[in-house]
Amino acid sequence: MSSDAPFSVYFALDGPHLDGLIGSAGLLRFDWPERKFYIKHFYGISSAHNPSVAPNGKLALLGNFSQTIFIVDISNPDKMQEVTRQSTMYFEESGYRLRANTHHLWYPDSERFIGALGDHLYRFHVDDLKNPERLGPHYLENAHELRWDATRRYILMGDLGPEKRDVRQVGVFDLEEPDPNKRSRIIKVQNNVWHCRVHPTKPVGYAATYSLITDHEDWVNWSPGFIREYIYEIDLPTARITRTWSSSAEFPGHLNSDIDIADDTLYIASGGSHCVLEIPLERFAESRVLPCIPKWTTRAFSIRDKLHTLMGAMARKPTATATHYMLQTLQVTGNRILDGIYATRVSPDGKYIVTGNRGYNTLAVYDRQTFEKVYEVLLPFRRDVYGKGTDHYRLTNRFMGLHLGVHHSELIARDA
């Protein structure tokens, strides 16, 4: 282990519910090669989604669906204390609970960052959150993941969509365009795009579809769609799609989450299909699939979690008239009830792929070349307790608890 380059991975924890959009707000840190993890939950905030770690490794923005800018001091992993919070409703009102600041972009000085609030992108300073600079309208329905190129000029933006209508588009925001009202350009695509990534050295982005189905334009109570998926390569200066990758419905790449790029190779976490997809960018054609299935003991004893997930699904739609939702979900997940891989990152030295399995509540490390599992840990399960003082949750190592809700992740290298 001593020869491995040290790194830390931060995971947002969104609670044990079905889709990760209505739960609690926590932060998990995993250190390698120490194989240690630290967990902290926060009060008065809900539905954590993505941790954006500052370049100095001392601060993190915990993106969430609570319409709150939330900054955490991560310099001491044993504490991970809140630094400050600011309601985004102070700047722009929001009539939809999923219209919130989930992803952020840090400047190299670790003092400024960009986030999407309401109809616009804003630039904030950590010491003066109430006076941001409005950068211009993004023209998306609900700007979600934000990623920018190495020059920090172009921002690729995913779109979560509104409450009552399907939306199929991505945006490219040019920070150097003189007219703020012309900085965003919209690209129409075949399906929903929530998540994206930009090449570490080139002004080229990658946007992956996230296919959903629902009835009567109810885009709150949706289900996974068992249909073909796409990944679009986008030239950011021209905002045009240059190459398209697509898979058949049976290909295990549904409900994508984290996207990473290492050595001109794309890695995508499949929240629906319990795997990580690897696509070399040279031809943008061939692929490898890394199945991320936990040990049989973990799968066998996650009974309470599976029942909780089934209850959540049945509470959303009348069971007798929703068999098409259930069957498509099972087709997506390979007949598994629980969620799959929502977090994946490649280690700084390129040796490992680190994954977080949301439903089975595990973290795992795989050899990047051979796909052999190097390490796996079952995280503490959770038992919520309300009305008994301020500690409204308990963590237990028993198999019969509820999962923490591992969602998006960010990785930083550490000094030896």
- Quote the CA–CA distance of 254 and 333 in Å, as a whole number: 8
In this structure, what DSSP letter does residue 249 have?
A: T
Q: How confident is the model at residue 392 (pLDDT cuts 50, 70, 90)?
A: low
Count the neighbouring beta carbons within 10 Å of the beta carbon of residue 316.
17
Q: Which residues contact 412 (CB under 8 A, 6 or more apart)?
A: 7, 8, 10, 53, 57
User: Which residue pairs, CB below 8 angstroms and at least 24 apart, start in 95-101?
Assistant: 96/142, 96/162, 96/163, 97/65, 98/21, 98/65, 98/142, 98/160, 98/163, 98/220, 99/67, 99/142, 99/160, 99/162, 100/64, 100/65, 100/66, 100/67, 100/68, 101/63, 101/64, 101/67, 101/68, 101/69
Place of tokens 């790449």: 253
Q: What percent of the chain has pLDDT over 90?
A: 77
Q: What average pLDDT score do residues 373-390 get? A: 80
The β-bridge partners of 298 are none
Position of tokens 């194989």? 35
User: Where in the chain are the domains?
Assistant: 7-413
Whether the CB-CB separation of 187 and 169 falls below 8 Å is answered with yes
Q: What is the pLDDT of residue 2?
A: 46
Nearest to 19 by CA among 312, 245, 330: 312
Dump pLDDT digits (tens) for 131-187. 999 999 999 999 999 999 999 999 999 999 998 888 999 999 999 999 999 999 999
Do residues 14 and 37 make contact, with C-beta atoms less than 8 angstroms apart? no
Q: Rounded distance, CA 18 to CA 312, Å?
A: 6
Average pLDDT over residues 204-219: 89
* Tokens describing residue 356: 């977080």
Q: May I ask the CATH class of domain 7-413?
A: mainly beta
* C-alpha of 101 from chain center: 13
Contact 310, 337 (CB under 8 A): yes
Using CA atoms, how far apart are residues 33 and 326, in angstroms rounded to an integer? 40
Between 109 and 2, residue with greater pLDDT: 109
The pair of three-digit structure tokens given for residue 200, joined into one six-digit string: 């570490």
pLDDT band of residue 1 (cuts 50, 70, 90) is very low
What is the distance between the alpha carbons of residues 20 and 338, in angstroms, rounded to a whole number? 12
pLDDT single digits (tens) 283-318: 999 999 999 999 888 888 888 888 888 888 888 878
The dihedral over CA atoms of 373, 31, 252, 233, expressed in degrees to the nearest 10, equals -130
- In the chain, the amino acid numbered 183 is R
Task: Write down the pLDDT at residue 308.
Answer: 86
Which tokens hold the place of 287? 């692929």
